[in-house]
């Protein structure tokens, strides 16, 4: 494997973690959104990743973001008959976002991003030192 491939692999991982962080931020931003209908209620979203495979070398060569899916976890319902968005039974619908899971996911994505930045920096330093050997 070429040393230059490291930049492609880390770059794809940085992109994937950026998508993960943005999705988590969206989930956290909508944690208190209220709806009167289950169809209009925000649902937690999660990105789906897959390894990019290089068949010639039979090795992983990066990360693909396949898409973002909505969680199928049931929505939260609260009894608030005085709320203007309450349904006829007095319930409001709240998103199925778990703030503890989202914070753990945000920390994990942030650390993964940081680790990939370190891979890029270390690779760059190695290449620069290799070039300096020829001087």
Share of the chain above pLDDT 90, in %: 54
What CA–CA distance (Å, rounded) separates 72 from 100? 18
Helices 99-133, 5-29: axis angle to 10 degrees equals 160
Residues 49-91 pLDDT 10s: 998 887 766 677 789 999 999 999 999 999 999 999 888 888 9
Q: What pTM was computed for the model?
A: 0.84
- Residues 32 and 69: beta-carbon distance below 8 Å: no
- Residues 45 and 24: beta-carbon distance below 8 Å: no
Domain boundaries, the chain: 5-133
For residue 103, the 8-state DSSP code is H
Residue with tokens 């930045």: 117
């Amino acid at each position: 494997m070429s040393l230059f491939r490291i930049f492609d692999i880390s770059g794809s991982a940085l992109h994937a973690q950026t998508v993960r962080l943005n999705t988590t931020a969206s989930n956290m931003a909508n944690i208190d959104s209220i709806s009167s209908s289950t169809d209009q209620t925000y649902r937690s979203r999660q990105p789906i990743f897959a390894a990019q495979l290089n068949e010639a070398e039979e090795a992983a060569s990066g990360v693909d973001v396949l898409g973002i899916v909505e969680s199928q976890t049931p929505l939260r319902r609260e009894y608030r008959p005085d709320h203007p968005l309450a349904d006829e039974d007095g319930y409001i619908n709240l998103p199925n976002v778990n703030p503890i899971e989202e914070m753990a996911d945000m920390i994990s994505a942030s650390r993964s991003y940081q680790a990939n930045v370190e891979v890029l920096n270390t690779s760059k330093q190695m290449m620069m030192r290799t070039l300096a050997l020829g001087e």
